[in-house]
Amino acid sequence: MNDHSPISTGCANSPVLKQRGQREVFCGLTGIIWLHRKMQDAFFLVVGSRTCAHLLQSAAGVMIFAEPRFGTAILEEKDLAGLADAHTELDREVARLLSRRPDIKQLFLVGSCPSEVIKLDLARAAERMTQEYAPNVRVLNFSGSGIETTFTQGEDACLASMVPVLPKTDERELLLVGALPDVVEDQAVSLLTEMGVGPIRTLPASRAADQYGIGENTVFALLQPFLGDTHAELERRGARHIPAPFPFGEQGTTAWLRAIALEFGVDEETFERVTAAPRARARKAIDAQAKELRGKSIFFFPDSQLEVPLARFLTTECGMTPLEIGTPYLHAGLVGPDLALIPEGPTISEGQDVDLQLDRAREARADITVCGLGLANPLEAEGLTTKWAIELVFTPVHFYEQAGDLAGLFSRPIRRREVLDL
């Protein structure tokens, strides 16, 4: 065979429109809403203002727990004016919390815009408290500040803060990285276990006691595309990333599993035996939704950082045409495999200048526009069909069994619009 046709690299080498301007995004505190559900003995203490407390309360207010796993230490005006020793007050607040709540094993001090403005050194505070409360409580810190972040960066910062304190191990193990609902994580673990892959660890683990080590024989697979800092921290500890498309839809999940299977030497027959039935179920579920999506166009504003893998899913599995794929950050080491599967054509943009992008979206008039809450209502008023990006993070959408639901998140607004237009 003498075929000199170039191998398609899809959008992997497409020019990237880089934008820096006003942005419309939620801050990283939002991640606490799903992280606190996952880590059952952790507490997230936001060191912030009443605005931060309101954000958390309104985003999570519908969830009632006997004992909440997050709270806000409010910085009052005198703190902000530098009139009080915020460290002393924080120490007092933490002492009160931990004496009341012996169930807390991991305490995260979460920085915010106000704590950054007054340059409160939470890393130092966390170190001091770790010494004071060891071995019962581990105190870490990360920033959820909204000044220069997008909302999924909160999870990245949180997980990245956990990596340096993991003990060292030489054990060969697979680490799955990203906070997914337990039922979805269990599906992934059970598929891999059936193939004979293991031992499998997860970051974050449900409990601090589920400790494991990390080292040069650790290989890791990312469950979310927004974990760039965590990826860097893991590599710094010697762990090796298994690059793959993200596990969305049937093809994404199969490619993700296959990359791990190859790493662990799983033979093709075993791979087929384990994946054949759930693959068929996923394909059928996607097809039922894709009828409404085929041939339709889509425009992504940068928001959740899921944009590239989702565009890959909607293009290759649902027959949609992406017009612009905007993402807050384009980390080629993470989303490169997905980009390579998207046929050339869409504008790939990184960062945001919201007014310019709104102009492009108005001109494109895609069949569906994925954007943040703040942009959705005005665009709907202009007759565009929208999808809130934040819903994609709060809904279980990974792996085979959720593939139909993921397609449904996009087909439903299109169907609703078609009914309204009749």
Residues that bind ligand SF4 (CB under 6 A): 27, 29, 48-49, 51-52, 55, 112-113, 144-146
Contacts of the segment 413-421: beta carbons below 8 A, 24+ positions apart: 413/368, 413/385, 413/386, 413/387, 414/292, 414/293, 414/296, 414/367, 414/368, 414/385, 415/292, 416/385, 417/385, 418/292
User: How far is it, in rounded angstroms, from Cα 417 to Cα 266?
Assistant: 46
* Shortest Å distance, C-beta 341 to ligand SF4: 35
**Closest CB to ligand SF4 among 22 and 190?**
22
Q: Which is nearer to ligand SF4, 117 or 288 (CB)?
A: 117
The CA distance from 140 to 85, in Å, is: 20
> Nearest distance from residue 122's CB to ligand SF4, in Å?
13
Sole residue written with tokens 């105190």: 139
Q: Does the annotation place 318 within a ligand binding site?
A: no
Which of 113, 244 has the CB closer to ligand SF4? 113
Interstrand relation of 200-203 and 368-371 (parallel, antiparallel or unpaired):
unpaired
Alpha-helical segments (H) within 101-181: 113-117, 122-133, 153-162
Query: Binding site annotation covers 27?
Result: yes
Minimum Å gap between C-beta 54 and ligand SF4 is 8
Unique residue bearing structure tokens 């203490």: 45
Residue whose CB is less far from ligand SF4, 145 or 402: 145
Min CB(204)–ligand SF4 separation in Å: 21
Angle, CA of 228, 11 and 412, to the nearest 5° = 80
Residue nearest ligand SF4 (C-beta atom): 146
What are 214's strand-pairing partners? 168
CB of 98 to ligand SF4, least distance (A): 23
Rank residues 144 and 413 by Cβ distance to ligand SF4 and give the closer one. 144
Return phi, psi of residue 384, to 5°. -90, 145
Does 11 show up as a binding residue in the annotation?
Answer: no
Q: Which residue has the tokens 């956990």?
A: 162
Q: How far, in Å, CA of 149 to CA of 45, rounded?
A: 19
Q: Are strands 368-371 and 347-352 parallel, antiparallel or unpaired?
A: unpaired
- Choice between 146 and 413, CB closer to ligand SF4: 146
Contact 174, 202 (CB under 8 A): no
Tokens coding 346: 């869409």
Burial pattern 285-301, b for ≥16 Cβ within 10 A else e, equals: bbeebbebbeebbbbbb
User: Minimum Å distance from CB 369 to ligand SF4?
Assistant: 24
Q: Nearer Cβ to ligand SF4, position 158 or 177?
A: 158
Closest distance of CB 265 from ligand SF4, Å: 46
Least Å from the CB of residue 143 to ligand SF4:
9
Closer by beta carbon to ligand SF4, 197 or else 354: 354
Residues forming the annotated binding site for [4Fe-4S] cluster? 27, 52, 113
